[in-house]
Amino acid sequence: MSAVLGLDIGGSRTRGRVCADGRVVAEASGPSASLTAAGPDQAREVLGGLLAELGRPAVVAAVAGAAGCDTAAGRDRMRELLAPLLPGARVEVVHDTRLVLAAAGLDAGIVLIAGTGSVAWGRSPAGAEARAGGWGHLLGDEGSGYWVAREAIRRALAEHDRGAEPGPLARRLLAATGATDPLDLTAAFHADRSPERWAALSHDVLAADPTLVTATAAALAGLATTVSARLDLRGPVVLAGGMLLSEPPLEAALRAALPRSEALRASDEPVAGAVHLAQQLARG
């Protein structure tokens, strides 16, 4: 019985799954082992603990999709850390967005993720890869949950500058933050710039302003279109991310903004995509 290991190493947690003969034989989860979030020493400790929880499996192949492994050098560092923990196994590290594509049963296509952050990543049938966005909340993340909240605050402040009374969007922001005046939003925003804190407001502000839904869909479509143009790849576009998949009006607007591409949801979770890639690696 030849076993394989799939690892989904995200920014907040790590999941592992061992499969043999098409069956799941062990699963475990733990803190993030991302090199950007945890650092090499902590990442090694987390991965060692996870493998112990999985029963220290003797696998023939392992694929890890790792957040932050955007370059070949980053993937090499993760592989060098992981390979000694899996003696005898073929080990490959990929960008974590590739797991989403594999979880949709695709070898080529575009992945569009919108949660706290955002990114588009694609792979052509020839194996060429390209990405757009995903540069963090200070430099990009267009159409993300954080971006939505920041854009809502900008709109509320612009409304205040025009001398208008707070509209539905500003009132929703004031209620959500406990502020009494739109100008107080500035102080609140700069006092706590945590992306997660502001992204949590995305549902409320999207519900308050349909034009913000349209703008968010356009921003996300722009990321997917950029990747599409670079790879000369029409699609399909696999939609993922907590905010996007929990906001039906946004998903509908995004689908409308991608008329040339088939948009679909992944049929399984990312760790299943890692297992699928590990099975391919085992077959050589």
What pLDDT is stored for residue 1 in this prediction?
57
Domains of the chain: 3-105+268-283 (3.30.420.40), 108-266 (3.30.420.40)
Rounded distance, CA 258 to CA 229, Å? 13
Q: What is the pTM of this model?
A: 0.85
Rounded distance, CA 71 to CA 132, Å? 14
Q: Which residue in 58, 121, 50, 54 sits closest to 81, CA to CA? A: 50
Q: Which phi and psi (to 5°) does residue 33 adopt?
A: -110, 15
What six digits make up the tokens of 106? 């695709």
What pLDDT is stored for residue 71 in this prediction?
81
Helices (H) and strands (E) counted in the chain, each on its own, are: 12, 10
C-beta neighbour count of 136 within 10 angstroms: 12
Residue 152 has pLDDT above 80, yes or no: yes
Mean pLDDT, to the nearest integer, of 130-145? 89
C-beta neighbour count of 252 within 10 angstroms: 12
Mean pLDDT, to the nearest integer, of 153-169? 93
